[in-house]
Structure 1
Amino acid sequence: MTIDLRVVDKRTAAEGVVTLTLAHPRGARLPDWTPGSHVDLVLPGGLVRQYSLCGDRWDAYTYRIGVLRERESRGGSAYIHDQLAVGDLVSIGGPRNNFRLVPSRAYLFVAGGIGITPLLPMVHQAELLGASWRLLYGGRTRASMSFVDELERYGDRVVVRPQDEYGLLDLDTHLTGDATVYCCGPEPLLAAVERRCAARTERFVPKDFGAPVRREPFEVELARSRRRLMVRPEESVLEAVGRAGVSVLSSCRQGTCGTCETTVLAGDPDHRDSILDDAERAAGDCMFLCVSRARSDRLVLDL
Protein backbone atom coordinates (compact mmCIF):
# COMPACT_ATOMS: atom_id res chain seq x y z
CA MET A 1 0.00 0.00 0.00
CA THR A 2 1.22 3.48 -0.83
CA ILE A 3 0.20 6.95 0.31
CA ASP A 4 0.66 10.29 -1.41
CA LEU A 5 2.76 12.88 0.40
CA ARG A 6 3.70 16.42 -0.52
CA VAL A 7 7.25 17.74 -0.70
CA VAL A 8 7.21 20.58 1.84
CA ASP A 9 10.95 21.27 1.91
CA LYS A 10 13.92 20.55 -0.34
CA ARG A 11 17.44 21.71 0.43
CA THR A 12 21.07 20.94 -0.29
CA ALA A 13 22.67 18.95 2.53
CA ALA A 14 26.12 18.51 0.96
CA GLU A 15 27.75 18.34 -2.45
CA GLY A 16 25.58 15.95 -4.45
CA VAL A 17 23.05 15.39 -1.63
CA VAL A 18 19.60 16.90 -1.15
CA THR A 19 17.10 16.33 1.64
CA LEU A 20 13.37 16.13 1.13
CA THR A 21 10.80 16.71 3.86
CA LEU A 22 7.47 15.04 3.13
CA ALA A 23 4.08 15.61 4.77
CA HIS A 24 0.50 14.49 4.24
CA PRO A 25 -1.42 16.94 1.99
CA ARG A 26 -4.18 17.23 4.61
CA GLY A 27 -1.85 17.37 7.60
CA ALA A 28 -2.67 13.84 8.75
CA ARG A 29 -0.43 11.86 11.05
CA LEU A 30 2.08 9.61 9.26
CA PRO A 31 2.78 5.96 10.12
CA ASP A 32 5.23 5.51 12.99
CA TRP A 33 8.74 4.30 12.28
CA THR A 34 11.83 3.12 14.14
CA PRO A 35 15.55 3.88 13.65
CA GLY A 36 16.87 2.08 10.56
CA SER A 37 13.57 2.32 8.66
CA HIS A 38 13.30 3.24 5.00
CA VAL A 39 10.48 4.16 2.63
CA ASP A 40 9.88 3.25 -1.00
CA LEU A 41 9.62 6.41 -3.10
CA VAL A 42 7.49 5.87 -6.21
CA LEU A 43 8.61 8.13 -9.06
CA PRO A 44 7.26 8.80 -12.57
CA GLY A 45 7.61 5.94 -15.01
CA GLY A 46 7.15 3.33 -12.29
CA LEU A 47 10.59 3.86 -10.75
CA VAL A 48 10.74 2.81 -7.10
CA ARG A 49 13.71 3.76 -4.95
CA GLN A 50 14.45 3.19 -1.26
CA TYR A 51 15.61 5.95 1.05
CA SER A 52 16.34 5.81 4.76
CA LEU A 53 14.32 7.99 7.09
CA CYS A 54 16.77 10.38 8.71
CA GLY A 55 14.56 12.92 10.47
CA ASP A 56 13.02 13.08 13.93
CA ARG A 57 11.06 9.89 14.56
CA TRP A 58 9.08 11.70 17.27
CA ASP A 59 7.70 14.10 14.66
CA ALA A 60 4.51 12.32 13.65
CA TYR A 61 3.74 14.63 10.73
CA THR A 62 6.83 14.72 8.52
CA TYR A 63 9.38 12.33 7.05
CA ARG A 64 12.87 13.39 5.98
CA ILE A 65 15.07 11.52 3.52
CA GLY A 66 18.52 12.23 2.07
CA VAL A 67 19.19 11.54 -1.61
CA LEU A 68 22.63 11.18 -3.17
CA ARG A 69 22.94 12.03 -6.86
CA GLU A 70 24.20 8.74 -8.24
CA ARG A 71 26.91 9.02 -10.87
CA GLU A 72 25.24 6.27 -12.88
CA SER A 73 21.66 7.18 -12.04
CA ARG A 74 18.95 5.08 -13.70
CA GLY A 75 16.63 8.06 -13.43
CA GLY A 76 15.68 8.12 -9.77
CA SER A 77 18.20 10.38 -8.08
CA ALA A 78 18.54 12.58 -11.19
CA TYR A 79 14.79 13.20 -11.20
CA ILE A 80 14.77 14.02 -7.49
CA HIS A 81 17.70 16.43 -7.79
CA ASP A 82 16.69 18.14 -11.03
CA GLN A 83 12.90 18.03 -11.28
CA LEU A 84 11.13 17.21 -8.04
CA ALA A 85 10.09 20.48 -6.39
CA VAL A 86 8.44 21.75 -3.23
CA GLY A 87 4.69 21.33 -3.62
CA ASP A 88 4.92 18.18 -5.75
CA LEU A 89 3.19 14.97 -4.68
CA VAL A 90 5.04 11.66 -4.44
CA SER A 91 3.82 8.20 -3.46
CA ILE A 92 5.58 6.24 -0.76
CA GLY A 93 5.39 2.69 0.50
CA GLY A 94 6.39 1.66 3.99
CA PRO A 95 8.00 2.47 6.29
CA ARG A 96 9.72 -0.88 6.72
CA ASN A 97 12.77 -1.77 8.77
CA ASN A 98 15.40 -4.35 7.80
CA PHE A 99 18.10 -2.64 9.89
CA ARG A 100 16.71 -2.60 13.42
CA LEU A 101 18.54 -1.14 16.39
CA VAL A 102 18.88 -3.89 19.01
CA PRO A 103 19.24 -3.14 22.73
CA SER A 104 22.84 -2.73 23.83
CA ARG A 105 24.84 -0.94 26.50
CA ALA A 106 27.31 0.33 23.92
CA TYR A 107 27.24 1.03 20.19
CA LEU A 108 29.75 1.87 17.50
CA PHE A 109 28.20 3.38 14.38
CA VAL A 110 30.30 3.42 11.21
CA ALA A 111 29.06 5.51 8.28
CA GLY A 112 30.44 6.00 4.80
CA GLY A 113 29.03 8.84 2.71
CA ILE A 114 25.24 8.72 2.33
CA GLY A 115 25.31 5.73 4.71
CA ILE A 116 24.99 8.29 7.49
CA THR A 117 21.22 8.55 6.84
CA PRO A 118 19.94 5.42 8.67
CA LEU A 119 22.48 5.96 11.46
CA LEU A 120 21.33 9.47 12.38
CA PRO A 121 18.13 8.29 14.12
CA MET A 122 20.09 5.46 15.76
CA VAL A 123 22.53 7.95 17.28
CA HIS A 124 19.60 9.98 18.59
CA GLN A 125 17.93 6.86 20.03
CA ALA A 126 21.13 5.69 21.71
CA GLU A 127 21.48 9.16 23.25
CA LEU A 128 17.90 9.09 24.55
CA LEU A 129 18.44 5.67 26.09
CA GLY A 130 21.63 6.76 27.84
CA ALA A 131 23.73 4.12 26.08
CA SER A 132 27.43 4.55 25.46
CA TRP A 133 28.01 5.22 21.77
CA ARG A 134 30.47 6.55 19.20
CA LEU A 135 30.14 7.41 15.52
CA LEU A 136 32.94 7.05 12.98
CA TYR A 137 31.95 8.95 9.84
CA GLY A 138 33.93 8.95 6.60
CA GLY A 139 33.40 10.47 3.17
CA ARG A 140 35.28 11.57 0.07
CA THR A 141 35.58 15.19 1.19
CA ARG A 142 34.20 17.21 4.07
CA ALA A 143 31.98 19.13 1.64
CA SER A 144 30.39 15.88 0.44
CA MET A 145 29.45 14.72 3.96
CA SER A 146 25.85 15.42 4.97
CA PHE A 147 24.54 16.38 8.42
CA VAL A 148 27.95 17.17 9.91
CA ASP A 149 26.46 20.33 11.42
CA GLU A 150 23.69 18.32 13.12
CA LEU A 151 26.26 15.99 14.64
CA GLU A 152 28.36 18.76 16.18
CA ARG A 153 26.16 18.82 19.29
CA TYR A 154 27.46 15.37 20.26
CA GLY A 155 31.05 16.60 20.61
CA ASP A 156 33.95 14.17 20.46
CA ARG A 157 31.72 11.10 20.37
CA VAL A 158 31.49 11.81 16.64
CA VAL A 159 34.71 11.33 14.66
CA VAL A 160 34.51 12.90 11.19
CA ARG A 161 37.21 11.67 8.81
CA PRO A 162 37.10 12.92 5.18
CA GLN A 163 39.26 10.70 3.01
CA ASP A 164 41.11 13.59 1.33
CA GLU A 165 42.28 14.78 4.75
CA TYR A 166 42.81 11.52 6.69
CA GLY A 167 42.84 8.67 4.19
CA LEU A 168 40.73 5.55 4.71
CA LEU A 169 38.92 5.09 8.02
CA ASP A 170 41.16 3.62 10.73
CA LEU A 171 38.92 0.68 11.51
CA ASP A 172 41.51 -1.26 13.51
CA THR A 173 41.71 1.53 16.08
CA HIS A 174 37.97 1.96 16.48
CA LEU A 175 36.71 -1.63 16.19
CA THR A 176 37.80 -2.63 19.66
CA GLY A 177 35.83 -3.53 22.77
CA ASP A 178 32.41 -5.17 22.96
CA ALA A 179 30.21 -2.47 21.44
CA THR A 180 27.42 -3.50 19.07
CA VAL A 181 28.54 -2.35 15.61
CA TYR A 182 26.25 -0.86 12.97
CA CYS A 183 27.65 0.05 9.57
CA CYS A 184 26.16 1.55 6.43
CA GLY A 185 28.01 2.76 3.36
CA PRO A 186 29.69 1.53 0.19
CA GLU A 187 30.48 -2.16 -0.23
CA PRO A 188 34.27 -1.89 0.38
CA LEU A 189 33.61 -0.31 3.78
CA LEU A 190 31.04 -2.95 4.73
CA ALA A 191 33.36 -5.75 3.68
CA ALA A 192 36.25 -4.25 5.65
CA VAL A 193 34.11 -3.97 8.80
CA GLU A 194 32.72 -7.49 8.41
CA ARG A 195 36.24 -8.90 8.12
CA ARG A 196 37.03 -7.44 11.54
CA CYS A 197 33.87 -8.06 13.54
CA ALA A 198 30.28 -9.30 13.55
CA ALA A 199 28.53 -6.11 12.47
CA ARG A 200 24.97 -5.28 11.52
CA THR A 201 25.12 -3.73 8.08
CA GLU A 202 22.85 -2.20 5.47
CA ARG A 203 23.84 -2.45 1.82
CA PHE A 204 23.19 -0.32 -1.24
CA VAL A 205 24.37 -3.11 -3.56
CA PRO A 206 23.82 -6.87 -3.21
CA LYS A 207 26.28 -9.45 -1.95
CA ASP A 208 27.69 -11.93 -4.45
CA PHE A 209 26.40 -15.41 -3.59
CA GLY A 210 27.68 -17.22 -6.67
CA ALA A 211 25.53 -19.83 -8.40
CA PRO A 212 22.20 -21.00 -6.94
CA VAL A 213 22.11 -24.27 -4.98
CA ARG A 214 20.03 -25.93 -7.70
CA ARG A 215 19.88 -25.22 -11.42
CA GLU A 216 16.74 -27.28 -12.11
CA PRO A 217 13.21 -25.88 -12.28
CA PHE A 218 11.24 -26.07 -9.05
CA GLU A 219 7.58 -25.87 -8.16
CA VAL A 220 5.97 -22.98 -6.28
CA GLU A 221 2.50 -23.31 -4.81
CA LEU A 222 0.60 -20.10 -4.08
CA ALA A 223 -1.54 -21.10 -1.11
CA ARG A 224 -4.08 -18.27 -1.14
CA SER A 225 -4.35 -18.08 -4.94
CA ARG A 226 -4.57 -21.89 -5.22
CA ARG A 227 -2.11 -21.95 -8.09
CA ARG A 228 0.94 -24.01 -8.87
CA LEU A 229 3.69 -22.95 -11.21
CA MET A 230 7.17 -23.95 -12.26
CA VAL A 231 10.05 -21.52 -11.85
CA ARG A 232 12.47 -21.85 -14.73
CA PRO A 233 16.25 -21.60 -14.12
CA GLU A 234 16.51 -18.32 -16.06
CA GLU A 235 13.74 -16.48 -14.18
CA SER A 236 13.21 -15.29 -10.62
CA VAL A 237 10.38 -16.44 -8.38
CA LEU A 238 9.08 -12.88 -8.59
CA GLU A 239 8.95 -13.08 -12.40
CA ALA A 240 7.29 -16.48 -12.32
CA VAL A 241 4.65 -15.31 -9.85
CA GLY A 242 3.99 -12.26 -12.02
CA ARG A 243 3.69 -14.49 -15.08
CA ALA A 244 0.96 -16.36 -13.21
CA GLY A 245 -0.94 -13.11 -12.76
CA VAL A 246 -0.24 -12.57 -9.05
CA SER A 247 1.02 -9.11 -8.17
CA VAL A 248 3.76 -8.68 -5.57
CA LEU A 249 5.11 -5.23 -4.69
CA SER A 250 8.80 -5.07 -5.56
CA SER A 251 11.47 -2.44 -6.00
CA CYS A 252 15.23 -3.06 -6.08
CA ARG A 253 15.10 -6.59 -7.59
CA GLN A 254 18.53 -7.13 -6.01
CA GLY A 255 17.61 -8.44 -2.56
CA THR A 256 18.56 -5.26 -0.72
CA CYS A 257 15.31 -3.38 -0.04
CA GLY A 258 12.94 -5.97 1.46
CA THR A 259 9.89 -4.85 -0.51
CA CYS A 260 9.04 -8.30 -1.93
CA GLU A 261 9.35 -10.21 1.36
CA THR A 262 6.95 -13.16 1.35
CA THR A 263 6.04 -15.75 3.98
CA VAL A 264 7.18 -19.32 3.24
CA LEU A 265 4.67 -21.93 4.46
CA ALA A 266 6.60 -25.02 3.36
CA GLY A 267 9.84 -25.90 1.60
CA ASP A 268 13.46 -24.87 1.97
CA PRO A 269 14.42 -21.49 0.47
CA ASP A 270 17.82 -20.77 -1.04
CA HIS A 271 18.34 -17.33 0.50
CA ARG A 272 20.26 -14.99 -1.80
CA ASP A 273 19.34 -11.62 -0.29
CA SER A 274 21.55 -9.12 1.53
CA ILE A 275 19.08 -8.55 4.37
CA LEU A 276 18.45 -11.61 6.55
CA ASP A 277 20.87 -12.65 9.29
CA ASP A 278 21.97 -16.24 9.89
CA ALA A 279 19.16 -17.02 12.36
CA GLU A 280 16.51 -15.64 10.03
CA ARG A 281 17.91 -17.67 7.14
CA ALA A 282 17.88 -20.82 9.25
CA ALA A 283 14.24 -20.24 10.23
CA GLY A 284 13.25 -20.42 6.55
CA ASP A 285 9.86 -18.82 7.12
CA CYS A 286 10.24 -15.94 4.68
CA MET A 287 12.12 -15.09 1.49
CA PHE A 288 12.66 -12.26 -0.97
CA LEU A 289 11.19 -13.31 -4.28
CA CYS A 290 13.37 -11.12 -6.48
CA VAL A 291 16.58 -13.08 -5.79
CA SER A 292 15.99 -16.09 -3.52
CA ARG A 293 15.18 -19.49 -4.93
CA ALA A 294 14.61 -23.05 -3.62
CA ARG A 295 16.80 -25.77 -2.19
CA SER A 296 13.86 -28.18 -2.15
CA ASP A 297 11.78 -29.36 -5.10
CA ARG A 298 8.79 -27.30 -3.94
CA LEU A 299 7.99 -24.11 -2.05
CA VAL A 300 4.61 -23.09 -0.67
CA LEU A 301 4.18 -19.31 -0.42
CA ASP A 302 1.53 -17.26 1.36
CA LEU A 303 0.30 -15.62 -1.84
Structure 2
Amino acid sequence: MTKKLRNAPAYIFLTIFAVFSVFPLYFMMVSATNTSQEVLGSKLLPGTNLLENFNNLVAQQDLGSALYHSAVNAILTTVLSLIFCSFAGYGFEIYHSKGKDRLMAVLLLAMMIPFAATMIPLFQLFAQNGLINSTAAVILPTISTPFLILLFRQASRNFPHEILEAARLDGLSEIAIFARIYLPTMRATYAAAAVITFMAAWNNFLWPKVILVDSAYQTMPMLISNFSSGYVTDYGALMLAVLIASLPAMVIFLVLQRAFAEGITGAIK
Protein backbone atom coordinates (compact mmCIF):
# COMPACT_ATOMS: atom_id res chain seq x y z
CA MET A 1 0.00 0.00 0.00
CA THR A 2 2.85 2.33 0.83
CA LYS A 3 4.41 1.70 -2.58
CA LYS A 4 1.13 2.52 -4.32
CA LEU A 5 0.83 5.79 -2.40
CA ARG A 6 4.42 6.61 -3.25
CA ASN A 7 3.70 6.11 -6.96
CA ALA A 8 0.41 8.04 -6.88
CA PRO A 9 1.91 11.41 -7.96
CA ALA A 10 3.53 9.75 -10.97
CA TYR A 11 0.24 8.13 -11.97
CA ILE A 12 -1.63 11.42 -11.58
CA PHE A 13 1.02 13.25 -13.63
CA LEU A 14 0.89 10.65 -16.44
CA THR A 15 -2.92 10.63 -16.42
CA ILE A 16 -3.09 14.40 -16.82
CA PHE A 17 -0.67 14.40 -19.73
CA ALA A 18 -2.47 11.44 -21.32
CA VAL A 19 -5.71 13.43 -21.23
CA PHE A 20 -3.97 16.45 -22.80
CA SER A 21 -2.53 14.20 -25.52
CA VAL A 22 -5.83 12.51 -26.38
CA PHE A 23 -8.03 15.61 -26.14
CA PRO A 24 -7.21 17.04 -29.63
CA LEU A 25 -8.20 13.72 -31.20
CA TYR A 26 -11.41 13.62 -29.18
CA PHE A 27 -12.27 17.21 -30.10
CA MET A 28 -11.64 16.47 -33.79
CA MET A 29 -13.96 13.44 -33.72
CA VAL A 30 -16.69 15.30 -31.83
CA SER A 31 -16.42 18.38 -34.05
CA ALA A 32 -16.94 16.23 -37.16
CA THR A 33 -20.51 15.61 -35.91
CA ASN A 34 -21.32 19.23 -35.03
CA THR A 35 -22.28 22.33 -36.99
CA SER A 36 -19.79 25.08 -37.79
CA GLN A 37 -21.24 27.32 -35.07
CA GLU A 38 -21.00 24.53 -32.50
CA VAL A 39 -17.36 23.89 -33.42
CA LEU A 40 -16.56 27.58 -32.99
CA GLY A 41 -18.37 27.43 -29.66
CA SER A 42 -16.08 24.56 -28.59
CA LYS A 43 -18.91 22.10 -28.02
CA LEU A 44 -17.44 18.99 -26.40
CA LEU A 45 -20.36 16.58 -26.91
CA PRO A 46 -21.20 14.67 -30.13
CA GLY A 47 -23.85 16.16 -32.36
CA THR A 48 -26.16 14.95 -35.13
CA ASN A 49 -24.65 16.84 -38.07
CA LEU A 50 -22.27 14.13 -39.35
CA LEU A 51 -24.20 13.27 -42.51
CA GLU A 52 -24.76 16.93 -43.41
CA ASN A 53 -21.07 17.66 -42.89
CA PHE A 54 -20.18 14.77 -45.20
CA ASN A 55 -22.60 16.00 -47.88
CA ASN A 56 -21.15 19.51 -47.67
CA LEU A 57 -17.63 18.11 -47.89
CA VAL A 58 -18.21 16.02 -51.03
CA ALA A 59 -20.23 18.85 -52.59
CA GLN A 60 -17.35 21.30 -52.27
CA GLN A 61 -14.33 19.02 -52.75
CA ASP A 62 -13.49 15.89 -54.75
CA LEU A 63 -12.93 13.68 -51.72
CA GLY A 64 -12.62 10.40 -53.64
CA SER A 65 -9.92 11.74 -55.96
CA ALA A 66 -7.93 13.22 -53.06
CA LEU A 67 -8.05 9.93 -51.13
CA TYR A 68 -6.99 8.01 -54.24
CA HIS A 69 -4.01 10.23 -55.01
CA SER A 70 -2.90 10.30 -51.37
CA ALA A 71 -3.12 6.51 -51.16
CA VAL A 72 -1.21 5.96 -54.41
CA ASN A 73 1.53 8.42 -53.43
CA ALA A 74 1.87 7.04 -49.88
CA ILE A 75 1.85 3.35 -50.86
CA LEU A 76 4.31 3.73 -53.74
CA THR A 77 6.60 5.93 -51.66
CA THR A 78 6.55 3.42 -48.79
CA VAL A 79 7.22 0.36 -50.96
CA LEU A 80 10.00 1.96 -52.99
CA SER A 81 11.60 3.53 -49.91
CA LEU A 82 11.72 0.16 -48.14
CA ILE A 83 13.33 -1.46 -51.17
CA PHE A 84 15.98 1.16 -51.92
CA CYS A 85 16.84 2.16 -48.35
CA SER A 86 17.09 -1.42 -47.11
CA PHE A 87 19.40 -2.28 -50.02
CA ALA A 88 21.51 0.77 -49.17
CA GLY A 89 21.59 0.06 -45.43
CA TYR A 90 22.47 -3.58 -46.09
CA GLY A 91 25.30 -2.60 -48.40
CA PHE A 92 26.70 0.05 -46.06
CA GLU A 93 27.01 -2.40 -43.16
CA ILE A 94 27.54 -5.84 -44.70
CA TYR A 95 30.15 -4.53 -47.15
CA HIS A 96 31.63 -2.16 -44.62
CA SER A 97 34.60 0.06 -45.50
CA LYS A 98 36.05 3.43 -44.52
CA GLY A 99 34.94 4.89 -47.83
CA LYS A 100 31.34 3.92 -47.11
CA ASP A 101 31.63 5.55 -43.67
CA ARG A 102 32.66 8.81 -45.33
CA LEU A 103 29.78 8.54 -47.81
CA MET A 104 27.37 7.91 -44.92
CA ALA A 105 28.68 11.03 -43.20
CA VAL A 106 27.92 13.03 -46.35
CA LEU A 107 24.39 11.61 -46.43
CA LEU A 108 23.85 12.55 -42.81
CA LEU A 109 25.05 16.08 -43.52
CA ALA A 110 22.46 16.24 -46.31
CA MET A 111 19.77 15.83 -43.65
CA MET A 112 20.69 19.28 -42.35
CA ILE A 113 19.83 20.99 -45.65
CA PRO A 114 16.27 22.35 -45.43
CA PHE A 115 13.90 21.19 -48.15
CA ALA A 116 13.08 24.80 -49.03
CA ALA A 117 16.66 25.18 -50.27
CA THR A 118 16.27 22.36 -52.81
CA MET A 119 12.63 22.82 -53.73
CA ILE A 120 13.13 25.30 -56.58
CA PRO A 121 15.92 23.29 -58.32
CA LEU A 122 13.79 20.16 -57.97
CA PHE A 123 10.79 21.88 -59.50
CA GLN A 124 12.88 23.12 -62.41
CA LEU A 125 14.30 19.62 -62.94
CA PHE A 126 10.88 17.97 -63.05
CA ALA A 127 9.40 20.76 -65.18
CA GLN A 128 12.15 20.35 -67.77
CA ASN A 129 11.39 16.65 -67.98
CA GLY A 130 7.63 17.13 -68.26
CA LEU A 131 6.80 15.55 -64.91
CA ILE A 132 4.55 18.27 -63.50
CA ASN A 133 1.25 16.85 -62.18
CA SER A 134 2.64 13.31 -62.03
CA THR A 135 2.95 10.70 -59.33
CA ALA A 136 6.62 10.24 -60.19
CA ALA A 137 7.34 13.89 -59.39
CA VAL A 138 5.75 13.50 -55.95
CA ILE A 139 7.47 10.30 -54.88
CA LEU A 140 10.94 10.44 -56.50
CA PRO A 141 12.44 13.05 -54.11
CA THR A 142 11.34 11.01 -51.08
CA ILE A 143 11.99 7.34 -51.92
CA SER A 144 15.53 7.42 -50.57
CA THR A 145 16.21 9.29 -47.34
CA PRO A 146 19.37 9.37 -45.19
CA PHE A 147 17.31 8.64 -42.08
CA LEU A 148 15.89 5.35 -43.41
CA ILE A 149 19.29 4.30 -44.78
CA LEU A 150 20.78 4.95 -41.34
CA LEU A 151 17.92 3.02 -39.70
CA PHE A 152 18.58 -0.07 -41.82
CA ARG A 153 22.32 0.29 -41.44
CA GLN A 154 22.09 0.38 -37.65
CA ALA A 155 19.69 -2.58 -37.64
CA SER A 156 22.06 -4.54 -39.91
CA ARG A 157 24.77 -4.32 -37.26
CA ASN A 158 22.83 -6.88 -35.23
CA PHE A 159 22.55 -9.23 -38.21
CA PRO A 160 24.71 -12.37 -37.66
CA HIS A 161 27.47 -12.39 -40.28
CA GLU A 162 28.02 -16.12 -39.69
CA ILE A 163 24.70 -16.82 -41.41
CA LEU A 164 25.88 -14.84 -44.44
CA GLU A 165 29.09 -16.83 -44.70
CA ALA A 166 27.19 -20.11 -44.38
CA ALA A 167 24.71 -19.05 -47.07
CA ARG A 168 27.51 -18.05 -49.43
CA LEU A 169 29.20 -21.41 -48.90
CA ASP A 170 25.91 -23.08 -49.79
CA GLY A 171 25.97 -21.23 -53.10
CA LEU A 172 23.26 -18.60 -52.49
CA SER A 173 23.58 -15.38 -54.46
CA GLU A 174 23.59 -12.04 -52.68
CA ILE A 175 20.07 -11.29 -53.92
CA ALA A 176 18.86 -14.65 -52.60
CA ILE A 177 20.57 -14.03 -49.25
CA PHE A 178 18.92 -10.64 -49.01
CA ALA A 179 15.44 -11.90 -49.96
CA ARG A 180 15.42 -15.23 -48.09
CA ILE A 181 17.50 -14.48 -44.99
CA TYR A 182 18.00 -10.76 -44.39
CA LEU A 183 14.49 -9.55 -45.20
CA PRO A 184 12.59 -12.00 -42.92
CA THR A 185 15.06 -11.34 -40.09
CA MET A 186 14.53 -7.57 -40.32
CA ARG A 187 10.72 -7.61 -40.33
CA ALA A 188 10.49 -5.33 -37.28
CA THR A 189 12.81 -2.78 -38.88
CA TYR A 190 10.76 -2.89 -42.09
CA ALA A 191 7.60 -2.31 -40.05
CA ALA A 192 9.14 0.69 -38.28
CA ALA A 193 10.36 2.14 -41.57
CA ALA A 194 6.96 1.53 -43.18
CA VAL A 195 5.13 3.42 -40.41
CA ILE A 196 7.53 6.37 -40.57
CA THR A 197 7.50 6.56 -44.37
CA PHE A 198 3.75 6.08 -44.83
CA MET A 199 2.87 8.75 -42.28
CA ALA A 200 5.35 11.21 -43.79
CA ALA A 201 4.13 10.53 -47.35
CA TRP A 202 0.44 10.66 -46.41
CA ASN A 203 0.85 13.96 -44.56
CA ASN A 204 3.22 15.50 -47.11
CA PHE A 205 1.88 18.91 -48.11
CA LEU A 206 4.51 21.36 -49.31
CA TRP A 207 6.07 19.44 -52.20
CA PRO A 208 2.76 18.10 -53.65
CA LYS A 209 1.35 21.63 -53.36
CA VAL A 210 4.25 22.90 -55.47
CA ILE A 211 4.51 20.14 -58.08
CA LEU A 212 0.80 19.29 -58.50
CA VAL A 213 -0.38 22.44 -60.21
CA ASP A 214 -3.73 21.01 -61.37
CA SER A 215 -6.27 20.74 -58.54
CA ALA A 216 -7.51 17.45 -60.05
CA TYR A 217 -4.37 15.80 -58.62
CA GLN A 218 -4.73 17.20 -55.11
CA THR A 219 -4.02 15.04 -52.06
CA MET A 220 -5.82 15.06 -48.71
CA PRO A 221 -3.56 17.71 -47.07
CA MET A 222 -4.10 19.90 -50.15
CA LEU A 223 -7.87 19.32 -49.97
CA ILE A 224 -7.93 20.43 -46.34
CA SER A 225 -5.88 23.52 -47.18
CA ASN A 226 -8.16 24.43 -50.10
CA PHE A 227 -11.28 23.76 -48.04
CA SER A 228 -10.21 26.16 -45.29
CA SER A 229 -8.99 28.95 -47.57
CA GLY A 230 -12.40 30.30 -48.64
CA TYR A 231 -14.17 33.39 -47.35
CA VAL A 232 -16.57 31.31 -45.25
CA THR A 233 -15.33 28.03 -43.76
CA ASP A 234 -17.65 25.21 -42.76
CA TYR A 235 -15.73 24.04 -39.73
CA GLY A 236 -17.89 20.97 -39.21
CA ALA A 237 -17.10 19.68 -42.70
CA LEU A 238 -13.47 20.78 -42.29
CA MET A 239 -13.06 18.76 -39.09
CA LEU A 240 -14.65 15.76 -40.82
CA ALA A 241 -12.09 16.10 -43.64
CA VAL A 242 -9.28 16.25 -41.06
CA LEU A 243 -10.68 13.14 -39.36
CA ILE A 244 -10.87 11.22 -42.64
CA ALA A 245 -7.32 12.30 -43.51
CA SER A 246 -6.07 11.15 -40.11
CA LEU A 247 -7.63 7.68 -40.12
CA PRO A 248 -5.24 5.83 -42.51
CA ALA A 249 -2.10 6.90 -40.64
CA MET A 250 -3.77 6.08 -37.31
CA VAL A 251 -4.76 2.60 -38.51
CA ILE A 252 -1.28 1.86 -39.91
CA PHE A 253 0.34 2.90 -36.65
CA LEU A 254 -2.08 0.93 -34.45
CA VAL A 255 -1.63 -2.22 -36.55
CA LEU A 256 2.17 -2.01 -36.60
CA GLN A 257 2.86 -0.31 -33.26
CA ARG A 258 4.42 -3.36 -31.60
CA ALA A 259 6.68 -4.08 -34.57
CA PHE A 260 7.41 -0.35 -34.80
CA ALA A 261 8.68 -0.29 -31.20
CA GLU A 262 10.76 -3.42 -31.77
CA GLY A 263 12.24 -2.06 -34.99
CA ILE A 264 13.22 1.29 -33.46
CA THR A 265 14.68 -0.42 -30.37
CA GLY A 266 16.63 -2.87 -32.51
CA ALA A 267 18.04 -0.07 -34.66
CA ILE A 268 19.15 1.87 -31.58
CA LYS A 269 20.91 -1.16 -30.12
Please, what TM-score do these two structures have when normalized by structure 2?
0.25
Larger radius of gyration: 2
Structure number with the higher helix fraction is 2
Structure ranking higher on relative contact order (CA contacts 8 Å, 6+ apart):
2
